[in-house]
Structure 1
């Protein structure tokens, strides 16, 4: 784990620097990030795998029909409202504490995220539904909304925003920088997609995906890979949030410290509008 002296500088970053720091922060805090993600994702994935096996849905085959599509939609909505808010919220707190040179445990980070769970969940599920609706329209609105709502979790955890204001706050921070957010998200998702495809091909050769048992094992392998890869995207999102606030508001470590200190006034982390 990085000590405070070796943590990356708290400054505005280019896309390349941001991605490099995301990789370094993840690898140097690997056990912390992996533990947080596993604690949030493993129970959720186990429940979904059990449901998948019980109802006989095979999400690995494109010919699954309406039942497979409905299962995937339900899975995405539940993931966005339960597992992801916990993991991303805890990781946001953990990375912020590490930037301040403080030690943080998995349990401490999870407790902080759970204390804001309902706000995180409502904000994330609202954004997910809007993004899905946008994709149903003409795809482009879905992409734009997905980029605009990328910083919801840091807005809630660091600034103390409520659900609806966090959507507006994320949109305001991203405004003018959608291209950068898109590049970061595209590269991270491309990497995750390539690795997921490789694992899927290997597991497909080992397990018979046409059988119920093989489909469940394939799904379990993909879920395991997701646990390892998800923290990288979360860390990149946190760095995007820092970058946007540094550029637009002169955000610094002192403001970050005030924002994440328990019982501190969250308004201290957000500049008061001049009008």
Structure 2
């Protein structure tokens, strides 16, 4: 069985392993942490601005229903911008897997060129997961695993919104327990880190900035991980090599 080297780690057709995904993710992120953190930060600046505005404004007199709607909208904005950060990180992650250099500008250019379909995919994923969580949580988790690589499919294969989601459903089939473990790890680490930094800095300005900083780091990690998962799923299902996958960027 042939194998393809990705950043110093082997990936072979027919294999999708959680340990391999994690090793490659940490190696790629570790080599270019500053670049990936910046790629995650730039799309998420509006989240920081909204957070700071909320901290510095007078307490709203809106009803609890209005506050709940505002919280949902803020959560949706955060989720969509994290999805966009994932899109802008894909080029860099693939270049690192190929052990080739990349620039922030090129990664932003390639990711942002797909802004409209990526945001469309992000909104539909968010709405589907929200509906799933309302139906006793488990359906939301299942949908999240099924749609985990919709953004890489959208950017790399240049698919439309629904086609990207269908492609993700097909690629993840047979590997959703493994993806669930990776998905859960990102959620738990993100939540625990945000909680810890809020405890350290309190609910004021310092605490919110620390929590946002951690959110950027966890978003960068999730973005790189999604690229590795997409690559390894394509290898496992189709035997396609890394250079062939990355040709779309050339």
Report the more deviating stretch, 245-254 or 184-193. Answer: 184-193
The residue that corresponds to 1:86 in the other structure is 84
| Residues 179-236 of structure 1 deviation map (CA, whole Å, 9 limit, x = unaligned) | 00001111232222222222121112xxxx4xxxx2x443232112111221111211
Give the distance between the partners of 2:147 and 2:44, measured in 1 at CA: 22
- 194 and 80 in structure 1: CA distance in 2 versus 1, 3 angstrom threshold: closer
Where structure 1 has 5 or more consecutive residues not aligned to the other structure, the ranges are 58-63, 262-275
Contact 2:200–2:207 under 8 Å retained in 1 = no
Give the distance between the partners of 1:5 and 1:144, measured in 2 at CA: 29
| Residues 141-185 of structure 1 deviation map (CA, whole Å, 9 limit, x = unaligned) | 111111111101110111111111001011111111110000111
| Residues 44-88 of structure 1 deviation map (CA, whole Å, 9 limit, x = unaligned) | 32134314543636xxxxxx943443222101212233x223311
Give the distance between the partners of 1:134 and 1:159, measured in 2 at CA: 27
Q: Decide which of 146, 149, 169 is 2:147's aligned counterpart.
A: 149
| Residues 1-37 of structure 1 deviation map (CA, whole Å, 9 limit, x = unaligned) | xxx9954334444212211221121111101101111
Contact 1:37–1:231 under 8 Å retained in 2 = yes
The residue that corresponds to 1:46 in the other structure is 49
Give the distance between the partners of 1:52 and 1:184, measured in 2 at CA: 33
- 186 and 154 in structure 1: CA distance in 2 versus 1, 3 angstrom threshold: same
The residue that corresponds to 2:244 in the other structure is 255
Where structure 2 has 5 or more consecutive residues not aligned to the other structure, the ranges are none
TM-score, structure 2 length as denominator? 0.88
- 9 and 221 in structure 1: CA distance in 2 versus 1, 3 angstrom threshold: same
- 93 and 66 in structure 1: CA distance in 2 versus 1, 3 angstrom threshold: same
> Residue 91 of structure 1: CA displacement?
0.8
The residue that corresponds to 2:118 in the other structure is 120
Task: Count how many residue pairs are aligned between Structure 1 and Structure 2.
Answer: 242
TM-score, structure 1 length as denominator? 0.80
- 10 and 176 in structure 1: CA distance in 2 versus 1, 3 angstrom threshold: closer
Contact 2:86–2:222 under 8 Å retained in 1 = no
